[in-house]
Structure 1
């Protein structure tokens, strides 16, 4: 029976490349000369430091632009509140969303059932498996899921015929 998986994964190699490009741009831009602005990629997320809130926002905008240029969806980032750091600087934590939440999975399953499509959707950990008898039904489900609003980027993997 044909099936596919709906997942939400972020390519960490591309994320590393985007952060490195932002670091390179910070070091070469004139408006960042002598400032303490920096960005650092950790295991769970990204830490952005700026002299003030404007520099912090500029660095996050640079990051968003680099992500779009590298075909990463900026919805994969969740921005924390800016906090005071040492030396009069501002710090902001940005978490990288990985995996599908159970709420989003349930929302997708409910949407598929409401449309009365002839497929079955099963939640398997942090992914959603959709199976059906016809390939056309699965492609209709893919189009339905692409049209949905979600808080993170969704992709389709493991398509079996």
Structure 2
């Protein structure tokens, strides 16, 4: 039976490369001259440190641009509360979301079952396995999930015939 998996994953090397590019760009920008701004990746957590709120907002824009060029959508970023550091300095942790949580998985399963497509959907940890008798049904299922307008970006992998 044909099947495929719905997943939400990110390559660690892409996060690290994007952070290195952000640091390189910050080093060359005039508005960051002499500032102690930094971005570093630690697994799925990105730590941002800036001199003030304005620089932090500029760093968000630069970071999102570099991450998006590397295939990481803004919907996969979860910004924590801004923390005050010494003086006017601020820091923030950004978590890159991986996997499909139970709530989102339930929403996708309910929507697919309500679409009257001849498919079966199973939750397997933090991914979904969709199986059906025909390849066309699976392609319709992919189109249906894409049309749901979910904030978290999803990938469709392991398409087997």
Considering the TM-score relative to the shorter chain, is it more than 0.5?
Answer: yes
Aligned residues: 161
Deviations 1:39-73 (A, max 9, x none): 11112310111111000010111001111222321
State the distance in 1 between where 2:151 and 2:46 align: 18
**How far apart are the structure 2 equivalents of 1:50 and 1:33?**
12
Contact 2:49 2:90 in 1 (8 A): yes
Task: Give the Cα separation in 2 of the matches to 1:78 and 1:6.
Answer: 21
Shift of 1:148: 1.5
Gaps of 5+ in 2: none
Match of 1:36 in 2: 36
Question: CA–CA distance in 2 between the matches of 1:152 and 1:21?
Answer: 24
Alignment match, 1:88: 88
Partner of 1:153: 153
RMSD, aligned α-carbons: 1.0
Runs of 4+ aligned structure 1 residues displaced above 2 Å come to none
Q: Distance in 1 between matches of 2:72 and 2:117?
A: 30
Q: Partner residue of 1:57?
A: 57
1:96-132 deviations in whole A, cap 9, x for unaligned? 1011101111100000111111000000001000000
C-alpha separation between the residues in 2 aligned to 1:62 and 1:52?
Answer: 16
Structure 1 window deviating more from structure 2 (80-89 vs 4-13): it is 80-89
Partner of residue 24, structure 2: 24
- 1:4 to 2:4 alignment: yes
Instruction: Give the structure-2-normalised TM-score.
Output: 0.96
**Distance in 2 (alpha carbons) for counterparts of 1:156 and 1:147:** 14
CA distance in 2, matches of 1:141, 1:7: 14
Q: Report deviation, 1:146.
A: 1.0
**1:124: which partner in 2?**
124
Shift of 1:17: 1.0
Give unmatched runs, 5+ long, in structure 1: none
